[in-house]
Amino acid sequence: MATMKPWKAHGGRIVLAGAAAAVVLGAAALPAAAAAEEPTTDQLMADCASGVGKCTFNNPVVKKAYLGDYHQVSNTLYNCSTSPATQGINWSDSVGSSDSLDVSITSGGKIAGIVDLSVTAKYGHTWSTEHSEGGNLGMTVKPGEVGWISRAQVMHQVDGRWQTHYDDPHWGHYYWFWDDTITSPAPNDTDGVKNAVVVKTRPMTADEKASCASRNTKVFTSATKMEVPQQKTPGSGTGKSTPSPGDNGTAAVNEEKKEGK
């Protein structure tokens, strides 16, 4: 059995060493070990997606639609000439869904299907997780400017609470719950909000003007983007909360039944 032996540090102070130090170190390690017993929402969502957990998205609340951020959906037209340049430019756009942590939700996947089922059951209409659209738009760019086509998609959010149920205890429990907000594209004219497609232009930078000299043609297009998409959400939702094992003791009751107590 280990013993505690005193030793004298500088200044005459008595310090206990040996088993006491081991006890202190062991106590310091406890919080980290306890934290490891709690799942993350990403782990639970992965179990929902794989089918390891039997998941539902409960009490959905669909919020008002809003117009998402504008983002470039075409190549960029450069006009290095001395007269206006007019061209028809093709454009295409695809907008998907994400959760509270900005993690993408795959269209046609299990998570998307669970959300769609929940919203349809309550509201009587489907919940789409992806929208694609395209076309051709004529644009005129002034001399010494660049132009591109920009689009904004009608978006909406749904707040809800995830529940996952395991056949065997995971992280010590059969049930886990957490709140989440899903952001997805909405059909055009939802709540009176309409999709928008516009032409945007700006003067060339000094570097862009300098690059004109190396071109054989004075009007050309490039895949270089002038506008980077940065979709933002309008205000706060329930957000993705820390997972909890059960709701008002519900999980504990089910666990007792499973264990035959």
For residue 111, the enclosing domain spans: 41-258
User: Is residue 184 situated within a structural domain?
Assistant: yes
Please choose, from the candidates 197, 206, 208, the residue with its C-alpha nearest in 3D space to the C-alpha of residue 77: 208
In this structure, the strands spanning 145-152 and 76-79 are antiparallel
Amino acid code (one letter) for 167: D
Structural domain includes residue 201: yes
Give the integer Cα–Cα distance in Å for 234 and 156: 9
Contact residues for 86 (Cβ-Cβ < 8 A; gap 6+) = 138, 139, 140, 141
**Residue appearing with tokens 């500088």:** 10
Query: Is residue 92 assigned to a domain?
Result: yes
| Residue at 29 is within a domain | no
Q: What is the pLDDT of residues 151-170, one digit of tens each?
A: 999 999 999 999 999 999 99
Number of structural domains found in the chain: 1
17-49 per-position pLDDT tens digit: 444 444 444 444 444 444 447 899 999 999 999
Structural domain includes residue 135: yes
Q: Is residue 3 part of a domain?
A: no
| Banded model confidence at residue 232, pLDDT cuts 50, 70, 90 | low
252 domain-assigned? yes
The helix/strand/coil state of 249 is coil
216 pLDDT band (50/70/90 cuts)? confident
Model's pTM, two decimal places? 0.75
> Each residue of 110-167: pLDDT tens digit?
999 999 999 999 999 999 999 999 999 999 999 999 999 999 999 999 999 999 999 9
User: How far apart, in whole angstroms, are the C-alpha atoms of residue 163 and residue 172?
Assistant: 15
Interatomic CA distance for residues 100 and 220, integer angstroms: 41
Three-state secondary-structure class, residue 138? strand
